[in-house]
Amino acid sequence: MEEFDYQFKVILLGDCGVGKTSLIRTLSQKNDSNAGGCCCYSSPPNASAELEFKKHGRRVKVHVTDTGGQERYRSLTTSYFRGADGCLIMYSVNNTTSFENVPNWSETLENNTCKNILTTLLAGTRRHTSDDSQVPEARARKMSDYLEVPCVQIDLDNVSSIIEVFEQLVDIMINKYRIRESIAVELRRASAAVVPGKQKFQCVC
């Protein structure tokens, strides 16, 4: 059984047709990517893909999960969000409505996860063959500022473009994990430094 230093679950949110399934499909078409030395493979029956990275000498596994069409009826269950470490809120740069629905997806995410722990990116998707962008980058940046999350662009036909976005996400998640781990260590040290029987409590009734 392979061992990893970090394992993360990343979920995909957004309207139907923004490219969530296409993203999974593009990852499945190539097992070895030159971007970041990443290896990727997919599990089509589960609408998911798994990525393996080597970052700073550590092995990282990322499980990417698609909604499986549940968003069509706004019927996403709590199990979809459970255990998520990261999220891509996706919209199509060729579909204004999908962009205008981003705040709704952000609200859904906040209602089902812990915002301070989760790492979120706003991802605008496009394809090589489409040049009729309806969502200017300046407008996307304003939305990312409003949501307080980084904004990225993804070329759904280019696996390297997808991998680069996940690399950025992984870097942020690892940094957050290290900070939480450091805080936990400091708390344990502080707790161990307390000598039993030395604390004094005085009733102020």
Q: How confident is the model at residue 8 (pLDDT cuts 50, 70, 90)?
A: very high
Q: What confidence tens digit (pLDDT) does each residue in 78-120 have? A: 888 999 999 999 999 999 999 999 999 999 999 999 877 899 9
pLDDT at residue 47, as a whole number: 76
Whats the size of the chain, residue-wise? 205
Task: Please report whether residue 205 resides in a domain.
Answer: no
Facing residues of 58 across strands? 55
Q: How confident is the model at residue 76 (pLDDT cuts 50, 70, 90)?
A: confident
The SS3 call for residue 11 is strand
Task: Please report whether residue 202 resides in a domain.
Answer: no
Task: Please report whether residue 182 resides in a domain.
Answer: yes
Q: Which amino acid is at 109?
A: L
Which contiguous run of DSSP H or E holds residue 124?
strand 119-126
Q: What confidence tens digit (pLDDT) does each residue in 34-53 have? A: 455 566 655 555 578 889 98
Q: How far apart are CA 96 and CA 122, in angstroms?
A: 15
pLDDT at residue 30, as a whole number: 59
The SS3 call for residue 52 is strand
**Mean pLDDT, residues 127-139 taken together:** 82
- Looking at the predicted structure, is the pLDDT value of residue 73 above 70? no
Task: Please report whether residue 197 resides in a domain.
Answer: no
CATH number at residue 99: 3.40.50.300
What is the average pLDDT value for the chain, to the nearest integer?
82
Task: Please report whether residue 60 resides in a domain.
Answer: yes
pLDDT at residue 205, as a whole number: 46
Our count of domains for the chain comes to: 1
pLDDT at residue 27, as a whole number: 82
Residue with more model confidence, 73 or 23: 23
Work out the percent of the chain whose per-residue pLDDT is above 70: 73
- Looking at the predicted structure, is the pLDDT value of residue 20 above 60? yes
Task: Please report whether residue 24 resides in a domain.
Answer: yes
Task: Please report whether residue 105 resides in a domain.
Answer: yes
Domain that holds residue 42: 6-192
pLDDT at residue 6, as a whole number: 92
